[in-house]
Amino acid sequence: MMEIAVCGAFVDEQVERLKHGAGDIPVRLVEAEDSCDCAIVFGNPEPEQVASNPSLRWLQLESVGFGEYAGLDWNRDHGQTVVTNLSGFFADPVAESALAGILALYRGIDSLVLLKAEKRWLGDPLRTALRLLRGAHVVLIGYGTINRRLAELLAPFGCAITPITRGSGSDALDMALADADLVVCTAPATPATSGLLDAARLARLPARALLCNFGRGSILDEDSLADALERGRLAGAVIDVTDSEPLPHEHRFWNCPNIILTQHTGGGTMDELDRKIDVFLANLARFRAGTPLEGIVDFSRGY
């Protein structure tokens, strides 16, 4: 009999929603150490749980990223297992987080929060260092749903937008960086993007530039960014993703000037889990009807 295994920290009310939405298909809540030998799995189980599941027909991830599953064999006796992710799900929150970080640095909000904690009035020296976002040249590395949404949010500011896509080429990226006021990276982790923002690329940026990374930590040379911020070679950074998470206590970013660390919260909302359930149940209806699922992962492309 077909069953659904649910992996994740869902509260009783959410589990009841899943059971109600699944109808006559039994739903089983599983822990990391449990077997999830079910035809349908919702959540992000351990790769070992996936590899040892001969019954798996469809895995609905509760993330966009799927790197930990890339090396698995998806062939089963019943055919190829389908994997779907939350493609496009985080466009609004991540775009708003990026805009919030940019405005915080441009308008000195990060410094003002610290000054309040210290009960220290700085006033004019800070006032005269503030910048306007209006008219900024913004380079968007990766032009999927997140950066397209950010471009919409930036429209009222009259920014000049330069999208960098998979087909743009290295020369186009290098030329864009040399005249950038803002760089926002939302590219996925692929062999082509690993180390994309290395020391040489960061050195191309003008000293006035801000760098925002909401893609993957593997894209950015973190030590080179720390060097640039500490030496005043870059005006600031907003970093949501890092190579190691949680960020180690000894990491240089904790003490870097003009950096906002959003701790991989950029895609979060208070109703995040409920909206993920909505996505799963909508895809479950497609699965039962035999129609194509939304968000099918293409492991060969890496996204």
- State the total domains in the chain: 2
Residue type, 108: G
> Percentage of the chain with pLDDT > 90?
93
Q: Which long-range contacts (CB under 8 A, 24 or more apart) does 65-71 make?
A: 65/188, 65/189, 65/216, 66/297, 66/299, 67/189, 70/299, 70/302, 71/47
Residue 21 belongs to domain spanning: 4-88+270-289
Task: Extract the tokens encoding 85.
Answer: 């992710």
Please say if the pLDDT value at position 253 is more than 80: yes
Residue 295 lies in a domain: no
**Is residue 243 a part of any domain in this protein?**
yes
* d(C-alpha 244, C-alpha 79), whole Å: 36
The CATH number of whichever domain residue 188 belongs to comes to 3.40.50.720
- Model-level pTM greater than 0.95? no
Structure token digits, residue 91:
């466009």
Name the pLDDT band for 145 (thresholds 50, 70, 90).
very high
Same domain, 108 and 199: yes
Q: Tell me what pLDDT residue 3 has.
A: 96
pLDDT digits (tens, 9 = 90+) for 161-208: 999 999 999 999 999 999 999 999 999 999 999 999 999 999 999 999
Same domain? For 204 and 112 the reply is yes
pLDDT band at 303 (very low <50, low <70, confident <90, very high): low
Q: Is residue 181 part of a domain?
A: yes
Q: Tokens 């590899």 correspond to what residue?
A: 51
220 plus 151 within the same structural domain: yes
